[in-house]
Amino acid sequence: MSLDLYTPDISALAIGNPYPERLSDAHGSAERRSPICGSRVTVDVRLGEDGRVAALGTQVRACLLGQASSTLLARHAIGRSVEELAATRDALTQWLAGAGEVPSWPGIDIFTPGLKLTARHPSIRLAFEAAVEAAEQARAARTG
């Protein structure tokens, strides 16, 4: 495993999650786990009247990469639509697989050193996958 991925910037990002607690009144909630390292990320979402993320909560029991990715998600998820979250998740998956450009999510390029470390990709994707699932649940609960 390359130590180039575990930079001081990633370490600092990992401890900066602005929403480190679960939401008690979430409209949707999802947990994702990495089969490789056992990392686990839970994301709770509450949508506003406009269908965009109004509140976010997380519980992160993850490796450094999972923590850093969760922080990036949390810092920029408020105000995003379900479609924007899904597009970012898909772009992140493609980029990590070498089939796309760097996603437009702020700061996501911090994971560039991990592109060749495919075993670490699931940890980087966890928070975004959980957020999309939670947001889709929240939207379904509002319309159902």
**Contact of 79 with 52, CB cutoff 8 Å:** yes
List the domains of the chain with CATH numbers.
3-143 (3.90.1010.10)
The number of angstroms, rounded, from the C-alpha of 31 to the middle of its chain's C-alpha atoms is 11
- Which pLDDT value is given to residue 2? 53
* Token pair belonging to 51: 């269908």
pLDDT tens per residue, the chain (144 residues)? 455 788 899 999 999 999 999 999 999 999 999 988 889 999 999 999 999 999 999 999 999 999 999 999 999 999 999 999 999 999 999 999 999 999 999 999 999 998 999 999 999 999 999 999 999 999 999 887
